[in-house]
Structure 1
């Protein structure tokens, strides 16, 4: 039997929304014991039971306006390896749970802070959401089609890629440092920083002169005819990513693109006209017919699947990319390991505050003082 790679790590998570819970989910998926502290009367059990972001950890409802609850959080943090919080800068300090206090209790503690703008800077105390952090990072201006307004890719880039996943990475780096040195520290994870970091390759393209035009006119932003989605005869879509010459040659072969003008693959001036032609050609067959036509050809082709289709897709089913837990279809833990397991998702059930607190070493009188 193998154990998850984070087995033995304990994290205290101050409940929040979006990127903070995603970080908690990632750590729990890979074996950390994550104990979430909810506010009383929030996150109803019914709603929580449907939220994959809250899976695989136990929770306690504590009223942080009460000194007994603050003392309980300090006690939990004193025995933990890490803590995650997503309040605006200064809130934890006003609660009496700032890094200085918790590090005095536990010098090894990794104190993870998830915010949109970061702990410092002129915007630090302002409200915001993914779209705002994406906007100021410079990334949002790159998303969209030519001649159209910027289009946010839902909230995947700032909230989850640049936020929760970046915090999870920072937590693990700081945990390794703490194990080596005994020194805890603060991880200041700002979604603006993370969203900007995810654009590193595009900044490199820009410096090299490869990314020259406005959005929707470049290699990877739907400017190129060989890197885009196309509607098929039945109103479905396919995705083409035939960048390298061998894949582009295969694309031409499958679609009988014999005219010499298709040879100008990397000439941006030719892209709009070639895209118009591909748009018309793809509409001559159904998506299933195009899937059959491209089968066995190395083109970098895939059908655009909806949620239900993705869950039923043979490749996804073989790998277990999506699983069902508690009646909720959701992504499985990732990545996979050769020598370790991940944690099979468990959806939140009935909260058992007293049981959790007892397991954490609180006696009956202390549990009663916390209102449980």
Structure 2
């Protein structure tokens, strides 16, 4: 390539702290010209992390409160394609730089706003929406995960900036899709409330359904239900929790004392591979093996290796054998052996170790960048990239902008006539992915108007927990066909599909793609305009030692430091509380990669390979910490089970009627001085403040503190995902559902084809003024559209019957939508 994918895109980045600047970083990493607008008194977030997320940008200081600064900003907007801001609602209006003002100057402008809470939500819009305030109010700190609930630990603070990570990935792909549709839809004004994005990111923790069979519940879930049902205390010790962990889904200790995390369940063959690597071949041969798509009443044994979890009678026996085996080798040897055997597992690492990890550096997941202030830094790499973008790894730090040059360039041409079409209307997508992250790409595209067909194997390799229950969210709005791609006739079906689609999504390593004959050269020969979105666990800009290793959300959490931080150390690593933490984010990042590829194809007519990975998304949720350099301050961010804040001004406290989160990270003592009930505490040394604040907060109810702590500080009651779910719930039977006003929304689908009602989070994180958002229909039963799609491809009825009889195609995995 002679130009970068977004080399024709200019962005004005008014963002502060994380969310807005992260959008700017993603676009800059893809080649956009990003101008960071700084206030004259300096940036609000003067932190090494902000230096990192400013790489590749140009810096310009403007006094937006002055007439001259405002006029300059408007002139720059006339010469820009995108404006990003993440202020509270109303701030840009007060500066005279609202979306209406800037788009009046440039009707082709894409204006992205990332407030903490929805601007249409009168109860929340004016809160000082610090990251932890959003997390606390939404429920990220309450009932965090099965371990914490069984140990009775509540609340449980986490420094992971999930709202900004989810919001930034939504914002970046929304901008790119809006640019892609600009010629026919015109410019657009887009709002992405970070709290709405957080709820969508935690969607699998809000999913509820009627009468979920026990077979789909983990041993920890069943134990929690038992204790709650029988009014037993939630007081397990960490050491006791291992008795409730599946042997193929837990941490083991190696001979070097390092933890080794195994996630080799639910996928056909993975448990057996794991035992064979460990030298437990005889044990592997004795595992029960039958279809996971039978009802439990038809099972010949109490469990099958094709489904999670292992049955009670074998759980401890298998775990004990695996514990002994792991003690015979150090973790780095096991990592190489498991990777070669295609059994998903990894050594536990701290984030500091990940930043220096050989694979992370070789692959470009971690990059070396020369920064003007910090010197040579190790930094998180690209979130999304195109494979043939030769400039993707060439990173520079922040550079000064040449204002005269910017103002001397021509103004941008306007977009097309404003329309209400979906940004991706008419885009045809073939989805070859499974589980969560990959299918999330396709389900996200559906909301913007894409037509998505999911193709799965005739003989399922993944259990119904991951295909059906996870698919309730990630497979919505798609048509479903079953084809055996390992057969010659199945490859012919694939060839015909690839000829007619614009995009194919694959969650596979390079080696897996080669085995399925999904190489870039073959795809280009079939369809030169075809874009493949390739998603895997450990992929980066370049190949590294682990590029062909398999992995999942939890293995990436283990390798990049998330589990160490959350659990508190090598002896107590814990998966971050929420199911699909990185998986869902990774799917949104895959959409960012696709957005860049679509714009490149629009300019050049060329398809290609767009990529994202779980490891890159794992970096993104730790963006506030994901850097290192000589002289860096210690990695001492809050960690462990009993952490409930970060200093006295960013902390969970008990009010008289429940918990609150108090956030005054910039005003600090000034925030106390404004509240009569706290003013005397403003005279105390900071070292004495926390217990005094705790005592004072206990004297009044939560809503008192919320009403009295204002301005740039706030205090909010700690929500829970359950409370957020229940307060946001509407029923499909109520008729037209408005998903664009409240910050949160959950829909109960009462007539779901599963035969049970199910509660799902609708697509309300991205709220365009012009572009149309579609609420996807329900996930079809796998194979429902096999006959119709094959007919569309030119196969006759008799040919289709023969293909089904021969196992080349299929119409169902099970009699029921969800096996009982």
Please name the residue that 1:338 is paired with: 769
Among 771, 776, 780, the residue aligned to 1:349: 780
**Are 2:531 and 1:110 aligned?**
yes
**Bigger shift: residues 69-78 or 223-232:** 223-232
Change (3 A) 1:338 1:209: farther
Stretches of structure 2 lacking an aligned partner (at least 5 in a row): 1-418, 730-738, 805-810, 812-820
Please name the residue that 2:592 is paired with: 169
Q: How far apart are the structure 1 equivalents of 2:762 and 2:478?
A: 15
Please name the residue that 1:267 is paired with: none
Stretches of structure 1 lacking an aligned partner (at least 5 in a row): 265-269
CA displacement, residues 327-369 of structure 1 (integer Å, 9 cap, x when unaligned): 3222221311100221113112342321233345544344334
Change (3 A) 1:296 1:282: closer
Q: How far apart are the structure 2 equivalents of 1:72 and 1:323?
A: 38
Contact 1:83 1:109 in 2 (8 A): yes
Change (3 A) 1:213 1:200: closer
Structure 1 position 165, deviation (Å)? 1.5
Structure 1 position 179, deviation (Å)? 1.9
Contact 1:14 1:84 in 2 (8 A): yes
Please name the residue that 2:455 is paired with: 37
The number of residue pairs the alignment matches comes to 357
Q: How far apart are the structure 2 equivalents of 1:75 and 1:295?
A: 62
Contact 1:321 1:332 in 2 (8 A): no
Contact 1:159 1:191 in 2 (8 A): yes
Please name the residue that 2:559 is paired with: 136
Query: 3-state DSSP class of the match of 2:703?
Result: helix
**Are 2:721 and 1:291 aligned?**
no
Change (3 A) 1:262 1:51: farther
Query: 3-state DSSP class of the match of 1:8?
Result: coil
Please name the residue that 2:545 is paired with: 122
**Are 2:758 and 1:328 aligned?**
yes
RMSD in angstroms over aligned alpha carbons? 3.6
Among 781, 787, 801, the residue aligned to 1:368: 801
Structure 1 position 18, deviation (Å)? 1.6
Contact 1:130 1:158 in 2 (8 A): yes
Q: How far apart are the structure 2 equivalents of 1:231 and 1:195?
A: 32
Please name the residue that 1:70 is paired with: 491
Structure 1 position 139, deviation (Å)? 5.1
Larger radius of gyration: 2
Query: 3-state DSSP class of the match of 2:675?
Result: helix
Q: How far apart are the structure 2 equivalents of 1:49 and 1:80?
A: 25
Please name the residue that 2:242 is paired with: none
Structure 1 position 17, deviation (Å)? 0.9
Q: How far apart are the structure 1 equivalents of 2:559 and 2:631?
A: 23
Please name the residue that 1:196 is paired with: 619
CA displacement, residues 142-188 of structure 1 (integer Å, 9 cap, x when unaligned): 54669995554335553222x21111110111121112111111123
Q: How far apart are the structure 2 equivalents of 1:365 and 1:116?
A: 41
Contact 1:20 1:86 in 2 (8 A): yes
Q: How far apart are the structure 1 equivalents of 2:529 and 2:518?
A: 15
Please name the residue that 2:117 is paired with: none
Please name the residue that 2:583 is paired with: 159
Structure 1 position 58, deviation (Å)? 1.0
Q: How far apart are the structure 1 equivalents of 2:724 and 2:440?
A: 21
**Are 2:738 and 1:305 aligned?**
no
Change (3 A) 1:50 1:63: closer
Change (3 A) 1:296 1:278: closer
